[in-house]
Amino acid sequence: MFAHAEFERGIRSLVDAINTKEPGFGERHDNQWTASESGTAKIIVLIMRHRGSGRPQIDQISNLLDEAVHLCRERNFLAHGTWWCFNRRTLTVKVRGGVRWERPELPPENREYTVSDIGKLADKFKDIEAELHRIRRSFEPKMTDAEMRAASTPRPPTKGSPWVPSSSPRCRQIPSREPPSIDQ
């Protein structure tokens, strides 16, 4: 479940990187779309509107998000289904789904997951999130050499910064408490 949360955070960051005109765009509820073909299409439209239609990242993002649709459905089944039986011998959990809204006449679906299956699902989320991170970086502006040097040069603390040298009158040295020696 943590991997899914990281994946969703990655999607919000990607949407923010695509639309830089509105800070926090991806964090707004209206801009958090479901994991579906229509959610993927909305992100592709956003790229074309804010970055142009000739971007090579469009196909990459589309493929990754289409792959994530199935993973999100599996995660939702695990998260919202009823875990009703765990077999310690086979390390398998039986999960009973809820009402099938698309076909309510069918009985609830039951699936079995091993610990390994759940781990693989988490790993796939992590892989997709890492790839989306790499693509998001391609949307972000590149730093110039001067900006890189300035960012990597250590700066002395300024007045009012949280770091204050130990010689400051506001700080006092705490004496170390050494354990008593055996000779005493």
Helices within 90-161 (DSSP H only): 115-139, 145-152
Residues 60-78, mean pLDDT to the nearest whole number: 89
99: in domain:
no
Is the pLDDT at 167 greater than 80, yes or no? no
Position 34 in a domain: yes
CB 73 within 8 A of CB 91: no
Is residue 107 in a domain?
Answer: no
Provide φ and ψ at 33, rounded to 5°.
-95, 160
**Span of 38-42, 101-105, 127-131 with lowest mean pLDDT:** 38-42
As beta bridge partners, residue 114 has 92
Question: Is 39 domain-assigned?
Answer: yes
Structural domain count, the chain = 1
User: Residue 22's domain spans which residues?
Assistant: 2-76+116-141
Phi-psi region of 52 (alpha: psi -120 to 50; beta: other; left: phi over 0): left
Q: Would strands 110-114 and 82-87 be described as parallel, antiparallel, or unpaired? A: unpaired
Instruction: Note whether residue 20 is domain-resident.
Output: yes
Mean pLDDT score, 132-157: 77
- Is the pLDDT confidence value at 52 over 80? no
Look at residue 144 and tell me whether its pLDDT is greater than 80.
no
Q: Mean of the pLDDT values across residues 67-80?
A: 90
Is residue 77 pLDDT above 80, yes or no?
yes
38 within a domain of the structure (yes/no): yes
In a domain, 159, yes or no: no
- How do residues 8-19 score in pLDDT, each as one tens digit? 888 888 888 887
Among the ranges 5-9, 57-61, 84-88, 157-161, which has the highest mean pLDDT value?
84-88
Q: Is 46 part of a structural domain of the chain?
A: yes
Please tell me which residue, 92 or 144, carries the higher pLDDT value.
92
pTM above 0.75, yes or no: no
Which amino acid appears at position 66 of this protein?
D
